[in-house]
Amino acid sequence: GLSSLAYRQGMLTLLSNSQGAARKGGGGYAHKLASMSLRAIYAESLHLADFVGTVRVERGALVKQQLEAIEAEMHRRLAKKSSTGSTGSSHPTADDDDVVSLD
């Protein structure tokens, strides 16, 4: 329908914008990811994964590059999280609202 066409146009705009960034050395996209929330990055990766099937090969390479940048950002955050984990709290992995009582 019309919405998927609009969505595709939006993705093409996103891709051509980040293609400019990629040509400047790829730092632009990684920098953009660093400022996004995890949820936004997750949504972005899903969009890109959907998009892979609909783009021509030369665009596909760019999308792959972007997915790799997303993966690198995720690893960076996980590493940061595990290195700062055990300060202050005795249960670094569980937030209060994650705790389930087992009695």
82 against 86, higher pLDDT = 82
- Give me the helix-helix angle, 27-34 and 57-83, nearest 10°: 40
Domain ranges of the chain: 2-77
**Phi, psi angles (nearest 5°) of residue 83:** -75, -25
Q: How many helices (H) and strands (E) does the chain have?
A: 4, 0
pLDDT digits 0-9 by tens, 12-66: 666 665 554 444 445 788 888 989 998 998 888 888 877 776 766 667 778 888 8
Strands (DSSP E) contained in 1-103 are none
List the structure tokens of 2.
């019309």
Least confident span in 27-41, 50-64, 68-82, 85-99: 85-99
